[in-house]
């Protein structure tokens, strides 16, 4: 029991450090106006390379959005150190838990089409799977609870990965039958849960009548212009998926999970920036191809106040998005991801049209993220709030 507690304490500490220096922190910094994109790029190149060298991070992708448009994206370092393959902005990367806000859009598409009610218990939609024996009432769990991590479900199995060509990958339903044991009464409080989003994967398949990846591709990814994104790995991708690198710098080949919704998306940084831009109704018309502004704004409405360690970084969780209340009344929405050899993060202020995306193929990246926000994030906000 002590070892398990220590493990989760370490994980939560990493989460705090990764996200603590976020827009709310940066918003309080002095803002210097007049930074041009060219001036900013010089500073960015200098400091990103310096930090990557210092923390021995193989590769990174960074993208910036201003006025609802992707204005800058660049790859740094290596996708494969041993073979000297460079990281590129066209590389399909593991985005890990950034998958969750994308899946939230998929759920809201079904809501908009009248095929799903967020407040109806999910057991009324799921056909060929039942919750395992529970001490709490699974009959009360709704899609809204799953989207907002208020279902009472646990985090679930983590760290188990499979080669894309493995023939012994468990079925989603088998995974859920093992993981979907409630630890709290549904609807009472926030508990971050991969399992909850994996139930949403099953829900999407049963409500849409389509394979999860096919539904997400046809109904969301392609209409938004995310043509270099997929919940299914492909050996045809060129360049191939970068290798991840663990805390000791050991290479981790491409892998997949048995479940896709909680962290299975592969995407380029350009596509994630495209997704973020679509979530800015004041600046983008792409969103109307998938969701109207009413549904998008529902995603950003606070559902639950975040307690404990997560509360150091964020104020609320909405539907698939972490939410921060900024001093001027605007909100910042964001999500990050961590897997074996990968760390990712994005943050967006939909009302101003500003956002940043960061991918790294290293688990050494959490100090890089923090230093980035301290030394570079500040400059990024100088540029965003400055006058070109």
- Give me the pLDDT at residue 245, please: 96
Per-residue pLDDT band at 43 (split at 50, 70, 90) = confident
- Give me the pLDDT at residue 165, please: 92
DSSP label of 169: P
Tally of CA atoms within 13 A in the half-sphere of 265 that contains its CB: 33
326-335 long-range contacts (CB < 8 A, ≥24 apart) are 326/23, 326/24, 326/27, 327/24, 327/27, 327/28, 328/27, 331/300, 332/22, 332/23, 332/24, 333/101, 333/279, 333/299, 333/300, 334/19, 334/22, 334/23, 335/97, 335/98, 335/100, 335/101
C-alpha angle with apex 336: 330 to 339, nearest 5 degrees? Answer: 175
> pLDDT tens-digit profile of 350-381?
999 999 899 999 988 766 555 444 443 333 33
> pLDDT tens-digit profile of 222-272?
999 999 999 999 999 999 999 999 989 999 999 999 999 999 999 999 999
Quick check: pTM over 0.75?
A: yes
- Other beta carbons within 10 angstroms of residue 329's beta carbon come to 7
Spatial contact of 76 and 368, defined as CB atoms under 8 Å apart = no
Highest mean pLDDT among 31-35, 196-200, 382-386: 196-200
Domains of the chain: 20-385 (3.40.710.10)
Distances (CA, A) of 281 to 35, 171, 289, 293: 26, 37, 12, 6
Spatial contact of 125 and 116, defined as CB atoms under 8 Å apart = yes
């Amino acid at each position: 029991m002590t070892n398990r507690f220590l493990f989760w304490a370490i994980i939560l500490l990493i989460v705090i450090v990764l996200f603590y220096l976020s827009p709310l922190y940066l918003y309080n910094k002095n803002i210097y106006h007049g930074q041009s994109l060219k001036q900013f790029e010089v500073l960015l190149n200098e400091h990103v390379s310096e930090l990557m060298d210092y923390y021995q991070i193989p590769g990174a992708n960074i993208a910036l959005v201003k006025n609802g448009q992707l204005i800058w994206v660049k790859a740094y370092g290596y996708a494969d150190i041993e073979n000297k393959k460079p990281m590129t902005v066209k590389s399909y990367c593991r985005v890990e838990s950034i998958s969750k806000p994308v899946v939230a859009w998929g759920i809201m598409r079904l809501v908009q089409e009248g095929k799903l009610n967020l407040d109806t218990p999910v057991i009324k939609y799921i056909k060929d799977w039942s919750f395992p024996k529970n001490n709490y009432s699974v009959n009360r769990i709704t899609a809204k609870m799953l989207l907002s991590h208020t279902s009472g479900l646990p985090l679930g199995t983590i760290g188990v990965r499979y080669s894309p060509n493995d023939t012994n990958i468990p079925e989603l339903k088998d995974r859920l039958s093992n993981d979907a044991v409630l630890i709290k009464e549904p609807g009472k409080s926030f508990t971050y849960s991969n399992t909850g989003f994996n139930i949403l994967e099953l829900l999407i398949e049963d409500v849409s009548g389509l394979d999860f990846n096919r539904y997400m591709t046809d109904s969301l990814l392609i209409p938004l212009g995310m043509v270099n994104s997929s919940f299914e790995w492909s050996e045809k991708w060129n360049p191939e998926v970068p290798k991840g690198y663990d805390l000791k710098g050991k290479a981790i080949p491409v892998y997949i999970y048995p479940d896709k919704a909680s962290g299975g998306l592969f995407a380029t940084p350009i596509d994630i920036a495209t997704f973020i831009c679509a979530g800015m109704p004041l600046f983008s018309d792409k969103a109307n191809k998938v969701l109207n502004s009413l549904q998008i704004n529902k995603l950003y409405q606070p559902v639950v106040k975040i307690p404990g360690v997560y509360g150091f970084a964020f104020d609320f969780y909405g539907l698939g998005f972490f939410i921060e209340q900024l001093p001027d009344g605007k909100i910042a929405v964001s999500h990050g991801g961590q897997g074996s050899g990968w760390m990712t993060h994005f943050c967006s202020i939909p009302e101003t049209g500003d956002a940043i995306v960061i991918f790294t193929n290293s688990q050494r990246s959490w100090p890089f993220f923090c230093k980035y926000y301290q030394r570079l994030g500040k400059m990024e906000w100088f540029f965003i709030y400055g006058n070109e």
